[in-house]
Amino acid sequence: MNVHLKSNVKLKHSTILAILAMIALLFCVLYMTVEVDRSKQMFIDYAMYIRKPKLWSMVIAAFCIGTASVAFQSVIRNTLVTPCLLGMNSLYSLINTTIYFFVGSGSVWVMNKYASFGLNLVIMGVVGTAIYGFLFRKTKSNVLYVILAGTVLSNFFGSIQTTLTRIMDPNAYDTLLTKLIAGFSNVNTDILLLATVVCAVIVVVFWRYIRLLDVMTLGKDQAINLGVDYDKSVARILLAVVLLIATATAVVGPLSFMGLILSNLARQLFRTYRHTYLLLGAFLLGVILLVGGQLLIEHVFAFGTSISVFISMFGGSYFLYLIMKNKGA
What CATH number is associated with residue 305?
A: 1.10.3470.10
Whether the pLDDT of residue 187 is over 50: the answer is yes
- Which pLDDT band holds residue 328 (cuts at 50, 70, 90)? very low
Tens-place pLDDT, residues 73-94: 888 887 878 887 778 888 888 8
Question: For 17-51, what is each residue's pLDDT tens digit?
Answer: 999 999 999 999 999 998 887 888 888 888 888 88
How much is the average pLDDT of 168-188?
69
pLDDT of residue 90: 83
Q: Tell me how many helices (H) and strands (E) the chain has.
A: 14, 0
Q: Are 156 and 91 in contact (CB under 8 A)?
A: no
pTM of the model: 0.88
* DSSP 8-state symbol, 186: S
CB proximity list for 222: less than 8 A, separation 6 or greater: 215
22 found inside a domain = no
Torsion-angle region of 40 (φ positive above 0: left; ψ -120 to 50: alpha; else: beta): beta
306 Cβ contact list (under 8 Å, min separation 6): 182, 183, 185, 297
CA distance 111 to 121: 16
The enclosing H or E element of 88 equals helix 88-103
Which carries the bigger pLDDT value, residue 311 or residue 63? 63
Residue 93 in domain: yes
**Average pLDDT along the chain:** 83
Residue type, 88: M
pLDDT in tens, 263-284: 999 999 988 888 889 999 999 9
Q: Report if residue 13 sits inside a domain.
A: no
Please, which residues have CB within 8 angstroms of residue 35's CB and are 6 or more apart in sequence? 299
Distances (CA, A) of 141 to 15, 75, 109, 137, 153: 34, 9, 36, 7, 16
* Of residues 104, 55, 87, 68, the one with CA closest to residue 247: 68
**Domain contains 116:** yes
Does residue 27 lie within any of the structural domains? no
Task: Identify whether 298 is part of a domain.
Answer: yes
Query: Is residue 82 within 8 Å of residue 244, measured between CB atoms?
Result: no
Q: How far is CA 115 from the centre of its chain?
A: 22
Closest CA to 177 of 195, 159, 157, 162: 162
Contact present, 312 and 85 (Cβ < 8 Å): no
Question: What's the CA gap between 162 and 172, in Å, rounded?
Answer: 14
In a domain, 136, yes or no: yes
Residues contacting 80, CB < 8 A, separation 6+: 143, 147, 260, 319, 322, 323, 326
Provide the residue range defining the domain that includes 104. Answer: 60-328
Read off the pLDDT of each residue in 106-112 and give the average, rounded to a whole number: 77
- Answer for the pair 258, 182: CB distance below 8 angstroms, yes or no: no
- DSSP 8-class letter at 189: G
On whether the CB atoms of residues 215 and 234 are closer than 8 A, the answer is no
Q: Is residue 55, in this structure, part of any structural domain at all? A: no
Number of domains in the chain: 1
